[in-house]
Structure 1
């Protein structure tokens, strides 16, 4: 970005307001986090999870996870029949982001509260898909599809668009860490390596297009957003599609656009410069009595979570 400090500050402020506005339609998931001093949560300061989830590449990972989830007809039916994403897309986005933030960076009580909330919301989710198969959010395999799609997507997005290269060993450690959360969610099976996770998703026998999946994919291609945000979102969407493995792309009828990864990297680099690292990471470090890392910019002040 060209211009002096004042122009740069104004640009950061505009970008931050636009980005934060998308996720401000739900209560702060870490509002009480400082009431649990010393609580490491599920993962802790030395985890790969805290590293992966701190970066703006999670924007791509979130969209990618929804695309992958749409490739499972029964999961897509559950979302289509019971979700509010059409009528309240920003509310659903904020609630999903709150769950991810709480389970990644929250104290154990905050993690458990987030999981309990999701279980209550998913309690009524049951029915029959277009191909006549029963679905239920309580089914461990369906829970595994949703959980594993999230984990794989955040990992792949970070390895493609993140600020530093993530080694194979670190990628495996991240997936193994996330098994702890998957078990708490009642999901199974839960692959514990990056390769095993990717293979499980891409080779799943339930892959296929469905009416509910098509509707979700169409919505994800053009959700109701303001014009400036829509331009950035389109790049994020295409960047997400470009990282989905071919078997899943074939199942949902999408093709990657030429140059999508390059454009995605440029946008995420700009968002990183504007937004800095996750405020939730800073708050979690403070709760644990750890210093903020050198060379990392956070936009929130000590004692705050956003």
Structure 2
């Protein structure tokens, strides 16, 4: 069935999600999310016990990227079908706690909520810290919009954070249960040194390691402590994120969007004029990173917050 012309999908061109997810820094955000997600022992165990992550990590990353692309920019029917597929797969999978022998489903709400919150927090954190001057009201709107993506994977939207303050409170609640166990170490090893063809080893050292290192550095301090690897000072990380964001955003968007599977270009053709994603619509002033330790506004519960200069 062909999508209806003009169908905006689940979010549409006026949403924060539509405009934010077209930004190239979302790739850095995705890697940050993986680092954060791996710190929940039950959640990461479910991944490692039900997939050949060590041999097919690239495939898993690409499938996740496609899911985000379809749910953000796809027609409504396509997004709903993608969610139904994920729910069906998850309903058949379980994991075993090696210490207690407990068997549990990977679709437990607690686990789905952790994965969701780590992802949404990472997208928002990287976008704002890399220079998109998003006002707090739009940041809250973004978190609220993703109650819809939470519904797709099987969560009750009413049980999902609907603001940056609620997101920060959620991270504070779950932090005592986080740990960098063996599975998290496997994820860390992959992200630092992913397997590539021998001819691509120099590119991995030059490009990938920098991107993955930046994603790791942007994690909250408690995550660095759990992984046992230090990170540069927050101000240094912010400058690097700003520099990287500025550089990537100089690449013409239509050139970036030509890469398969071209979700954004197809969405623009379907929805019509005025549907081009544009992060600049989200804020007209540059974001400023306050000193750590002030009022928490989400971002992994690391105590950092953003304000727009007045």
Could you say which TM-score interval applies, normalised by the shorter chain?
Answer: 0.7 to 0.9
Asked if the contact 1:130/1:211 (under 8 Å) is kept, the reply is: no
Q: Corresponding residue for 2:168?
A: 198
Q: Corresponding residue for 1:301?
A: none
- Rounded to whole Å, the distance in 2 between the matches of 1:295 and 1:237 is 25
The within-5 A match list for 1:115-194 is: 115-132=83-100, 133-162=102-131, 164-187=132-155, 189-194=159-164
- Rounded to whole Å, the distance in 2 between the matches of 1:238 and 1:261 is 13
Match status 1:60 vs 2:28: yes
Distance 1:57 1:294, change over 3 A: closer
How far 1:212 sits from its partner (Å)? Answer: 1.1
Q: Corresponding residue for 2:307?
A: none
How far 1:271 sits from its partner (Å)? Answer: 2.5
Task: Report how many aligned residue pairs link the two structures.
Answer: 264
Residue of 214, 222, 227 corresponding to 2:185 = 214
Residue of 248, 254, 264 corresponding to 2:229 = 254
Distance 1:211 1:153, change over 3 A: same
SS in 1 for 2:195: coil
Asked if the contact 1:56/1:271 (under 8 Å) is kept, the reply is: yes
Asked if the contact 1:84/1:92 (under 8 Å) is kept, the reply is: no
- Rounded to whole Å, the distance in 1 between the matches of 2:29 and 2:277 is 26
Asked if the contact 1:176/1:193 (under 8 Å) is kept, the reply is: yes
Residue of 66, 80, 103 corresponding to 2:71 = 103
Distance 1:251 1:200, change over 3 A: farther
Match status 1:290 vs 2:273: yes
- Rounded to whole Å, the distance in 1 between the matches of 2:204 and 2:61 is 14
Question: Cα RMSD over matched residues?
Answer: 2.5
How far 1:256 sits from its partner (Å)? Answer: 1.6
Asked if the contact 1:49/1:104 (under 8 Å) is kept, the reply is: yes
- Rounded to whole Å, the distance in 1 between the matches of 2:99 and 2:227 is 16
The TM-score normalised by the length of structure 2 is 0.77
SS in 1 for 2:95: strand
Q: Give the stretch that moved more between structures: 218-227 or 95-104.
A: 218-227
Asked if the contact 2:143/2:164 (under 8 Å) is kept, the reply is: yes
Q: Give the stretch that moved more between structures: 76-85 or 55-64.
A: 76-85
- Rounded to whole Å, the distance in 1 between the matches of 2:160 and 2:275 is 32
How far 1:261 sits from its partner (Å)? Answer: 3.7
- Rounded to whole Å, the distance in 2 between the matches of 1:244 and 1:217 is 13
The TM-score normalised by the length of structure 1 is 0.78
Asked if the contact 1:43/1:104 (under 8 Å) is kept, the reply is: yes
Q: Corresponding residue for 1:274?
A: 251
- Rounded to whole Å, the distance in 2 between the matches of 1:121 and 1:294 is 31
Distance 1:295 1:121, change over 3 A: closer
Runs of at least 5 residues in structure 1 that lack an aligned partner in the other structure: 1-31, 297-306
Q: Deviations over 1:151-186 (max 9, x none)?
A: 111111111124x31111110000000011102322
Distance 1:281 1:294, change over 3 A: closer
Asked if the contact 1:39/1:288 (under 8 Å) is kept, the reply is: yes
- Rounded to whole Å, the distance in 2 between the matches of 1:282 and 1:146 is 28
